[in-house]
Structure 1
Amino acid sequence: MHRKYLRWNMKAKLLVLSALFTVSSVVLVSLLSYMRYTQDFERQSAEKVQQIIEQASLNIDTYLQDLFRLSLAPYRNNSLMQALEDGETGSEIDQLDKRRLVEGFLDEMMIYPRQDIIQVFILTDEIYTSGRNPRSVDPKADFRSLDWYRKALQSQDPFFVPTHRQDLVARSDVPQVFSIVRQLRSTRNTEKVLGVIKVDANYKGVEAICAKVNMGKDGGLFIIDKNKNLIYSSVAALRPADIFEQIARQPSPGAPFCMEGGNYLINSVYLPAADWTIVAVNSVKELNRSAAQTRNFALYSAIVCSLVAIGMLSLLTGTFLRPLLNIVKLMHKVEKGHLDVRFDERRKDEIGYLGTSFNALVSQISDMLEENTQLVKEVYETKLLQKEAQINALHNQIRPHFIFNTLNMISLLMQTGDQHKAVDHINKLSSLLRNMFSWDKSIPLQREAELLDAYLSIQSSRFQGRLAYAIDIPAHLNAAMIPALLIQPVVENAVIHGCENKREKTDIRITCGTSEERLTIVVEDSGKGMDEETLSRLRQKLSEPGAQQGRQSPGGGAGIGLVNVNQRIKWNYGPEYGLEVDSSPDTGTRVAIHLPASIV
């Protein structure tokens, strides 16, 4: 029997094993069915609860909007507005009549049937108030120093003041309230602020709304503000602050949460008008009580079947999977670089074919590695040199002395009071620095011209009239895509060598034109220029193939930026493009940048 089994093909072996794994499939299906059922039920429950608390949130929001509308009541009383318009003028009797009028109006507001509104204030130069309970105004209260009062004077929009101890009153047993605050403006002159109205309310109205929501025996509802102050809670056995932190980490509706030895589903709704979070908590155990009984029965049956399947599988694993595991071990060795391993067992089935193929593949990999090692080495060295050259080019673009000089100039402008010009230079310097790190990308010629204008504008201010410039690029060439910061090093070279060493005025002109085969950008300056020997050395550097970027001889020297630009052009477009330099002593320098016309 054992010999016959060795001759079976892979299909026959898998069919036998599939029969043994049937019991395991039953277990898996039972568990997956239970999981799917509970997930769907929990999802549906979470959606239902979400709808409930969203409705509760809508009711609370409507309740708060009523308070906001109540703060508009003064505008509906012309006598009150007239009294507030008159200010604190008149005799003491007039002021007493005004107080009676204002506080009489506030008393009428307190007739409002909602018992949660406990006190209303109108604050001008005086404090006018009326409340449901007798609370006198604290004579030492300085309402002008309170944050909500200062905020009201600065904003025309009403706003919500979260949970706080009631201020401006003299009693010791000051309750916790929340408030609606609104600025009062003149109806005749809307620019004139007459005072501030403040409505204090307790949480009875909110509690009445929340009491109608039933979350089951082990669940509940609570409301908490951004400072973790508990506004309302029907959750007796849980800590709302911990649940609030869980929501902050995982705000998705119906998120699971484990606390106090139980699993719960959490739904939340944010109430922006009050900066409150309404949270509903449901016990997963209570939701899945009946499903758990069915699950336990299926699980006990599945465990028995699984034990039988595991026993049979353990007997077959040794003979069936050992050759395959041997191949896997050999593959791990190959991954670590050991290419001398071979699969030696001779078999007639699919595993034998796999072993033979594995041996052939390892041999091919070994041969290919030997053949390609030298090529990979050459490519790697080429890429490394190119990357080093690119990094050197980038470092060469960023001129520290230019940045420091510009910052010093901006500082002087700000000290002399020329704020507008200082801000303009800051924006231009910021634009230059951002784009210096995009040098390996292509940008429109128009964008390059804008960066040049920013750079030359800063330099012109720095040299105080000794540098004039003009940028003349035809509109139809604005969209031409060129490597970023391609022209800037040429212009910088013109500034450094054409203007810094010359006391007279220097002109720099940038023009652009096309022919059938080329797009040519010309940078001309009226600086000191170069003698014939210096120009010859520069042209020699530009003509050297594969010139290394960023390599500067001791003592520095002109032309490093031009060499870098020339090499970038040749890498991108080919050896037939690049820079052409002409110069004469005391006359100036002309640099022509030749690019392919196809980029237009």
Structure 2
Amino acid sequence: MHILVRVKEKFHQMTVVKQMMIAITLIVFFSFTAITVFNYQRTIDIINRQQSDSNLEILDLKKNNYVSYMNQLEDYTMQLRYNDQIFNIINSGKPIDYSAYSTVSSLLRNTFLSRNDVVSYQFYLLKSKTCFSISSSDFNVRSFPFGSADEIYLYRQTYAAKGNYLTFRTEYGDGKKFLTICRLYINISNRRPLAFVKITVDDSFCRNLSSDSSGVQGILGIIDQDGKLAFSSDGNVLNTNSLPLVASALSGKNSKGSCSVQLSGEEYLAVFSDTEDGRWKLIRLLPQDVLRQPVVNTRNISLLLVLVAFIISAGVIYALIRAQLRPLQMLAKQMQNVGRGDFKTKVQGGGSAEVNNLAEQFNRMTEQIDELIQKNYVAELHEKIAQMKALEAQVDPHFLYNTLQTISTEAVLSGQKTIQRMVESLASLLRYSVREKDLVPVGTELKHVRQYLFLQTARFEDRLAYSIDADKALEEQMIPKISILSLVENSIKHGLENSCELISIAVQVRTSNDFLRITVTDNGKGMTEERLAEVRSMTELDNAEGSSIGLPNLAARLKILYDGRASLLISSTPGTGTRVDLMIPLSQKGGASCIDR
């Protein structure tokens, strides 16, 4: 905000030629820029739609190839089931002899070697409780016994799966594993499990599937029906950590389409398509920077042309404006004397009717300013000084001071200590009102408030009770002289003198935000709403009337000392009492601040 104010000030200090030059050139610049940005964004949208459509076609082809591949794997798991020799062995339940072992090992090895993407193949004979296993790290068929089917990993999940067929994602970070495919062979007649097949394949097919010859190298991702990442051609961008961001962007979308997603600090165009059975979702991520590169180059050329056109147009506009405003420049030179403060100087017009009219209006304005300075400013200054003197005069009983000194001496000689203390308190109050400055410390003010209340207690005896609560840290804060005393006097005058009841007066001094809050409360008879409104209106007057040191007087002093920044808040309830809050702004040094006088 401060910077904007400085810029505004600098702008107003410029000549009319420069102001108009800046205004017109900015309009031209922003117009060209807005058109360029609009065309750039519109082109980006068109490219995104085109890329989305073309990549959806590519992704559909990849999806079909992937579905075919998964169907091949599903058929592959059934090859041993359709072999009569194997079926007789798994269905007989007899112990595995040498002949059965050779048959199973041979067929298992041939089946395993028929594909290049199979990492491991495990064949569990449930009745014989024997497992045959072969892997790409060891092409020998191994066998080992097992206790029960429940010991086999993924057996129960496969048994409960639809069609007794289960695909399970396997960590593929080593580049050798992709999916574990489980198949349970069932006896059709009695629905009893006969054998369990567990095959693990690598991601070679998906790696080949992710390669692209379209010119934009994208990232291929495959998500299973459980929302888990089955494959990613770039694990640094699309992985299990970033998958929730992709899933959030795709939520609520159709089975195929495109959207924008932010991954690893880069924006991607995500093209996605679901398989017909809903078991797989293929995603292709295309970096927007690569897609937008041709448009960015065009945009940069356009901005360069805009800059050249802007410079040329700025020069032409500057020449035209300078020619039109040359008479005003001459007028500005003649007005320099007036700018130095000599309001007696008259400006000579010329050049055009507009300039002559401007010179005439300016001369009239300088005459009025000079007249206002003489009549209003000086007069107001004298009025403020006189007002301050008048306010001080209301509390200036200096002529009684010497007399009270004599009475105090006589009281001492007569042994009247109470009278002596009363006279000394009254003399101190009179000296305080005469000699102290406009601003005094809170501690000094409270000292004389206590002397004042002592005198009033001697007068009203048990009908007056009071308490003073002030933070010790605030005793050095500067406040107007006789401010708290005025509030206490007001409470006694309107709460005690017109009543026979006991009245309690409480004085509290605290800080509130950037203000010193002085609160004076009493339990007097209070004021009606009409009387309260009348008192509030009296405190809003510029001049305090009357001879008492009352609220209007204090409000007028606050306006003069603090230039309207201090406030006097009055609240009262009939039959309950009155509360007055004096809010005085604190200076940066911790004291109450006022204007220089």
TM-score w.r.t. structure 2 length?
0.40
Q: Who wins on radius of gyration, i.e. which is larger? A: 2
Higher relative contact order (CA 8 A, sep 6+): 1
